[in-house]
Amino acid sequence: MIADWKEKLGIIIESEEIVKVFKQTFELAWEAAEKYHNKIMDQQK
């Protein structure tokens, strides 16, 4: 489920394939964010 309480909008995704794509996209973004965060933290030392 994707929800935006400000806009009062919710979407329920029932397709397993679409769920997999969203999950993979999130995981790739999270991995990139961690690398970026670690790089910034190293530069501040």
* pLDDT tens-digit map of 1-45: 778 878 888 889 999 999 999 999 999 999 999 999 999 999 997
The pTM assigned to this predicted structure is 0.64
Report in angstroms the alpha-carbon separations of 39 from 2, 20, 25, 31, 45.
31, 29, 21, 12, 10
Domain residue limits at 29: 15-45
Q: Give the gyration radius of the chain's Cα atoms.
A: 16
Residue 20 lies in a domain: yes
| Tokens read off for 26 | 């999130």
Query: Tell me, what's the pLDDT at 15?
Result: 96
Specify if 25 maps to a domain.
yes
Q: What pLDDT sits at residue 5?
A: 78
Instruction: Give pLDDT, residue 32.
Output: 96
The tokens for 32 are 């990139």
